[in-house]
Amino acid sequence: MKSNFICGTLEGFYGRPWRLDQRLQLFEWMKEWDGMNTYMYAPKDDLYHRSKWRELYPEKELSVLKNLIQSCHKKELDFIYAIAPGLDIMYSDENDWNFLVKKVNQLREIGCKQFAILFDDIPSKLSDNDQNSFSSFARAHAQITNRLFKHLSGLSLLFCPTVYCGQMADYDIKGNAYLNELGELLHEEIGIFWTGPKVVSVEIKVESIKELQQVIKRKPIIWDNLHANDYDIRQIFFGPYSGRSLELKNEVAGILSNPNCQFWANYNPLRTLGMFNVEIDSWNPRQAFLESSREWIRYFGNEELTVDEIQLLGDCYYTQGQMGEHGIQIVKSIQWILNHPTEEWNDYLDTFKSFEVRLNSLCAKLMATTNRELLYDFYLAIWELREETEYVSKWVEWKQSGKGEFQSPEIVPRRKGILYEFQDIIHSD
């Protein structure tokens, strides 16, 4: 029996969309794992999803989408196509309504049975024309969404509001006029997305969701940005699904994870979401991470890699603002070394040295992996980590030698340019 609880992957980030072969790999995984049942197609930079939402897919792109939908269904997963017309739609314009209908019909013709309409990250003011037709932004959203729901006659529709987290409601959900109106006006069967207290929510508390339910008059669907990294190219997240209790599942209608742009980084984040969904008794993210990492190693394309090395990698890039056990130890040891005389380094030096050895071994093995796509996905992260580690290592050597002035290795002088200038100015105080 298929569960009603929506759980799966949402390709909803900014940047290069995944390729067909990557999405097919994702479907393989999701079919194999417990707890995952849905894929939502919403890549911000698919032209026809957002910027050119009015245009129909050209033949070539359409046949790729058709293949995608069929492959998804073959794995018994639900496929949701999302359209994001909010950048420039005129809500009161019949022509725009007709464009929307034609686009949705095109997707129906290639087998899509579930839809979403997204109004995130758009100008939150109605045009002059629309202001004559609608007394509020919420009314415009509710009207067009309800109309689309009716047009879809029986197919499911999800909706992403413009205010989609606590922060955007100034942490006053009850007092937010837009959300209250939507709760009243939006057809009760239309699901509403919510990202938690923030756009990227490290924690989502059950109480905050209960409060939201009162306002939107239904259980929200979590659009989960915990492992999203499109807002900072130096970040990548290999850590487990965390910061949410099992009780949360009773209060939401589903959870869709919008993860790293780098496809191959998403094994642990998605695998552990599936584990979270099927877990009944107690949720231990660390345990899930260790278990998932043991499976992940299969995809690295180098048999010499060890589970320890993979877990070390994961620990360095865990989740937003958090490191795993090893990452925490290493940062602590570097902090100690930099702030204490050499005689007091003791175990901290050993921790650092052993990290350096393991990191170098990990990097060498990754460079030799046959899964080149995985390597390229991780390149920036491992390269920078290795460079910074080398920098500390040179400093340690210099300090221990007790000689003259520190000659910094090349890496730091090389990092120049407009962003570094900006950062210097902005963060100088």
Residues near ligand GDL, by CB under 6 A? 12-14, 44, 120-121, 160, 164, 195, 199, 223, 225, 228, 230-231, 258
> What is the Cα–Cα distance from 419 to 404, expressed in whole angstroms?
32
CB of 173 to ligand GDL, least distance (A): 16
CB of 224 to ligand GDL, least distance (A): 9
Considering the complex, state which of residue 138 and residue 275 has its C-beta at the smaller distance from ligand GDL: 138
Output b/e per residue, 394-428; b: 16+ Cβ within 10 A.
ebbeeeeeeeeeeeeeeeeeeeeeeeeeeeeeeee
Note the maximum CA span of the chain.
78
- DSSP reduced 3-state for 250: helix
CB of 41 to ligand GDL, least distance (A): 13
> What is the Cα–Cα distance from 78 to 105, expressed in whole angstroms?
18
CB of 223 to ligand GDL, least distance (A): 5
> What is the Cα–Cα distance from 133 to 129, expressed in whole angstroms?
7
CB of 62 to ligand GDL, least distance (A): 23
Considering the complex, state which of residue 12 and residue 254 has its C-beta at the smaller distance from ligand GDL: 12
> What is the Cα–Cα distance from 227 to 11, expressed in whole angstroms?
12
Residue 121 appears among annotated catalytic residues = yes
DSSP state of 58: P
- What is the DSSP annotation of 279-307? --S---HHHHHHHHHHHHGGGSS-TT--H
Q: Could you tell me the CA-to-CA distances from 232 to 227, 229, 357 in Å, in that order?
A: 12, 6, 28
Considering the complex, state which of residue 143 and residue 235 has its C-beta at the smaller distance from ligand GDL: 235
- DSSP reduced 3-state for 115: strand
Considering the complex, state which of residue 320 and residue 369 has its C-beta at the smaller distance from ligand GDL: 320
CB of 381 to ligand GDL, least distance (A): 17
Please pick, among 45, 96, 121, 130, the residue that the annotation labels catalytic.
121
Q: If we measure between CA atoms, which residue out of 102, 177, 98, 99 comes closest to residue 142?
A: 177
CB of 94 to ligand GDL, least distance (A): 28
Question: Judging by DSSP bridges, how do beta strands 254-257 and 221-224 pair with one another?
Answer: parallel
> What is the Cα–Cα distance from 160 to 168, expressed in whole angstroms?
13
Considering the complex, state which of residue 121 and residue 295 has its C-beta at the smaller distance from ligand GDL: 121
| 56 in Cβ contact with 97 (< 8 Å) | no
> What is the Cα–Cα distance from 429 to 425, expressed in whole angstroms?
8
Backbone φ/ψ region at 325: left (φ over 0), alpha (ψ -120 to 50), beta: alpha
Considering the complex, state which of residue 163 and residue 362 has its C-beta at the smaller distance from ligand GDL: 163
Other beta carbons within 10 angstroms of residue 50's beta carbon come to 22
Considering the complex, state which of residue 192 and residue 215 has its C-beta at the smaller distance from ligand GDL: 192
Residues with active-site annotation: 121
